[in-house]
């Protein structure tokens, strides 16, 4: 049995809005196993980034942001840690890669300085040792000629190379968990596939667990072990790639898949098969979160929140009607 490195239980994140405290992440639960790639998919505004940033505790817990639930890591709840202890964990135990590599790099310092400073912030090593380690991780991410690379500034690199450097910084201290929040959105399609492949290979070789966030089910399918589908702050379906792709149970998952099939490029912010967009968190309906865009909504869906149904194997869904849906849904290829 593979060990769980992270256990997220009933995690909620509330933001202060004009309508009061509203949950952007709503009782989200999942485990992350050692060496596995877990993907989180959903359209824009589903709560993917808020989930990721809550795990990293990147929102200050002040008057306007509050967390609930627990995030168990290494025998303790991250939500109980002091800000100082969290700061030590970030970049060392848990690393995050953001969408835009340019904003993750400092334009005024060389790649070498940024890499070695990250290493020296977490490891008590000499400059020489940090430099050696920097070259090693640049090599690991496929950066050609790392020795020269150390002297380059971010603007001298292509987008794909910059993202490789960002990944090198993220893995420099050998984190147990890597969270990649749409790490390829700014890149062209061939480079996207390379970067996704690279992250998956690093995870495999180093036993890192990865949370991979994307709009693009197609991109994730190749590298993920399990997939969590989010809608309006909730996980509506979670399963192994095999289960989810062969027997998607939630109408939303099926809509995402049908869209991925009908588009030639990556799935962007619009679903071709389900009209409308994700509502604002202040407009969360009573009952099922997906009711307003679902063609199969019943009175029960409008009044009662769907409970989690365990399907076969490692697969769960939150839909009252998952076993009564037609074999081919509207918009699905026959």
Instruction: Report the C-alpha gap between 291 and 295 in whole angstroms.
Output: 8
Decide which of Mg ion, ligand ATP, none touches 239; Cβ closer than 5 to 8 Å per partner kind: none
In the complex with Mg ion, which residue's Cβ is closer, 6 or 230? 230
**Helix 159-171 and helix 111-122, axial crossing angle in degrees, nearest 10:** 20
Residue 46 CB, nearest approach to Mg ion (Å)? 8
Which of ligand ATP, Mg ion, none interacts with 42 (beta carbon under 5 to 8 A by kind)?
ligand ATP
In whole angstroms, what is the distance from residue 25 CA to residue 234 CA?
Answer: 6
Taking the complex as a whole, the smallest distance from the CB of residue 93 to ligand ATP amounts, in Å, to: 22
In the region spanning residues 33 to 92, those forming contacts with Mg ion, defined by CB under 5 A, are: 48-49
Smallest gap from residue 84 Cβ to ligand ATP (A): 23
* Residue placing its CB nearer to ligand ATP in the complex, 140 or 267: 267
Q: What's CA 171's distance to the chain center, in Å?
A: 16
Which of 124, 70, 193, 102 is closest to 114 using CA atoms?
A: 102
Q: Does 192 bind Mg ion (CB under 5 A)?
A: no
Distance CA 320, CA 121 (A): 50
User: DSSP string covering 23-89, please?
Assistant: EEEEEEEEEEETT-EEEEE-STTSSHHHHHHHHTT-S--STTEEEEEEEEETTEEGGGS-HHHHHHH
Kindly state the smallest distance separating residue 48's Cβ from ligand ATP, in Å: 3
- CA pair distance 134, 171, nearest whole angstrom: 10
> Smallest distance, Å, CB 318 to Mg ion?
21
Which residue, 37 or 172, has its beta carbon nearer to Mg ion? 37
Closest CB to Mg ion among 100 and 174?
100
Per the structure block, which two tokens stand in for 225? 């072990």
Q: Which is nearer to Mg ion, 42 or 248 (CB)?
A: 42
| Partner touching 318 among Mg ion, ligand ATP, none, CB below 5 to 8 Å by kind | none
Contact positions vs ligand ATP (CB under 6 A):
15, 17, 24, 42, 44-50, 215, 280-281
Using CB under 5 A, list all residues that contact Mg ion.
Answer: 48-49
């Amino acid at each position: 049995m593979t060990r769980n490195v992270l256990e997220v239980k009933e995690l909620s994140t509330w933001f202060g809005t004009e309508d009061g405290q509203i949950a952007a992440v709503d009782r989200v639960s999942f485990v992350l196993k050692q060496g596995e790639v877990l993907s989180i998919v959903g359209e824009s505004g589903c709560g993917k980034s808020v989930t990721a940033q809550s795990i990293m505790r990147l929102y200050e817990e002040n008057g306007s942001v509050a967390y609930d639930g627990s995030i168990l890591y290494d025998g303790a709840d991250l939500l109980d840690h002091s800000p100082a202890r969290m700061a030590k964990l970030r970049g060392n135990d848990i690393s995050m890669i953001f969408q835009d590599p340019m904003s993750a790099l400092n334009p005024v310092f060389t790649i070498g300085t940024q890499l070695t400073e990250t290493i020296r912030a977490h490891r008590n090593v000499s400059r020489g040792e940090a430099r050696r380690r920097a070259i090693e991780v640049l090599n690991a991410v496929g950066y050609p000629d790392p020795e020269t690379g150390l002297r380059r500034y971010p603007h001298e690199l292509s987008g794909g190379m910059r993202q490789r450097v960002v990944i090198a910084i993220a893995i420099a201290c050998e984190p147990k968990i890597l969270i990649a929040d749409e790490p390829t959105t700014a890149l062209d399609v061939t480079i996207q596939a390379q970067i996704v492949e690279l992250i998956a290979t690093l995870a495999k070789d180093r036993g890192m667990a990865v949370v991979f966030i994307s709009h693009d089910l197609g991109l994730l399918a190749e590298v993920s072990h399990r997939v969590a589908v989010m809608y309006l702050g909730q996980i509506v379906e979670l399963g192994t790639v095999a289960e989810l792709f062969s027997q998607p149970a939630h109408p939303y998952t099926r809509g995402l898949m049908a869209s991925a099939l009908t588009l030639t490029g990556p799935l962007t912010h619009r679903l071709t098969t389900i009209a409308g967009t994700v509502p604002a968190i202040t407009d969360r309906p009573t009952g099922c979160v997906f009711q307003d865009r679902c063609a199969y909504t019943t009175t029960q869906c409008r009044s009662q929140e769907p409970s989690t149904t365990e399907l076969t194997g490692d697969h769960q869904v939150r839909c009252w009607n998952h076993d009564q849906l037609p074999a081919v849904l509207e918009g699905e290829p026959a």
